[in-house]
Amino acid sequence: MLDMFLDSFWVGEDTRELMDRLLLVAVDQRSFERCKFLRLHCYKLELILDEGAVDSNGEKLYMSNDFMKMMWRRTLFLGDILKRGYSFIFTDTDVMWLRNPFPRLSQNESIDLQISTDRFNGDEQSEANQLINTGFYMIRSNNKTISLFDAWYARKNSPAGLKEQDVLLNMMRAGVFRELGLEVRFLDTNYFSGFCEDSKDFRAVTTVHANCCRTIVAKVADLMAVFHDWKMFKRSSTNQTSTSRSWTNHKACRDSWN
């Protein structure tokens, strides 16, 4: 997965130079060693898993206890970065960067959070029916966003046993974003797309997230198809209309739920 993520910066448009600004946070030793071998900026984030061990190579299966602990440890870590005064773009490694996202992200400093969605309701400012996804977002460090992450992490032991993304979604629906005075922009899936909702425009798509998928094996299989589709588009005539191509069906991810 890590190599595919990094490959996307090489096949994407205006993305190669962004690798110099990339900090890879690894939760397993294998990925950390791979990162160092590639001479990238690397950080090892320690995890305490159910068996009491620090770290564990191998997949944290979606919604398993180890998966949940990894997600909450990530939330705590990112909140600490905000407290140190750093604004940042966060991306999961199953998000392929096919174009430089900065032209599609607002530089308006009054916007605190720009976050991807599983399904976009057509209104960048409306919370109604938005299904947010924490796999890709841009966030500014300020008192409001720090308070958001503190309140978010404080709910990690929710009796419902929800993953961190669902907890944040419930906070939004309960009005916490508005109570904190957060200015939030929800990202259009035509640009920041995923397997839940494909971009309909190859000429506009910026990122592709392997969401709505349960296993790494399935993600890798369907992301390989994304790479194939992207390379075929890049080789096609510049006169070809953006609607004349479609993405390969994400069959492996769909079947991963069976």
Measuring CA to CA, which residue among 219, 224, 195, 221 is closest to residue 208? 195
Average pLDDT, the chain: 92
List, edge to edge, every strand of the sheet that includes 192-194: 95-97, 207-209, 192-194
Tens-place pLDDT, residues 109-138: 999 999 999 999 999 999 998 999 999 999
How much of the chain, in percent, has pLDDT values that exceed 70? Answer: 90
Q: How far is CA 101 from CA 89, 137, 208, 240, 253, in A?
A: 10, 11, 11, 23, 25
pLDDT at 56: 52
pLDDT at 103: 98
- Give the residue carrying structure tokens 């992200």: 105
pTM of the full predicted structure?
A: 0.92
pLDDT at residue 52 is higher than 60: no
pLDDT at 68: 85
pLDDT at residue 20 is higher than 60: yes
Sorted by where each begins, the domain ranges of the chain are: 73-255
For residues 68 and 173, give the distance between their C-alpha atoms in angstroms, rounded to a whole number.
21
Tens-place pLDDT, residues 230-258: 999 999 865 455 556 899 999 999 999 99
pLDDT at 189: 98
Which uninterrupted H or E stretch holds 232?
A: helix 216-235
Tens-place pLDDT, residues 202-211: 999 999 999 9
Q: Give the residue ranges of DSSP H helices in 25-64.
A: 29-37
**pLDDT band at 158; cut points 50, 70, 90:** confident
Domain 73-255 -> CATH class: alpha beta
For residues 63 and 200, give the distance between their C-alpha atoms in angstroms, rounded to a whole number.
30
Tens-place pLDDT, residues 79-116: 999 999 999 999 999 999 999 999 999 999 999 999 99
- Give the residue carrying structure tokens 């419902």: 160
Q: Could you tell me which residues come within 8 angstroms of residue 150 by beta carbon, excluding any fewer than 6 positions away?
A: 79
Whether the Cβ atoms of residue 2 and residue 31 lie closer than 8 Å to each other: yes
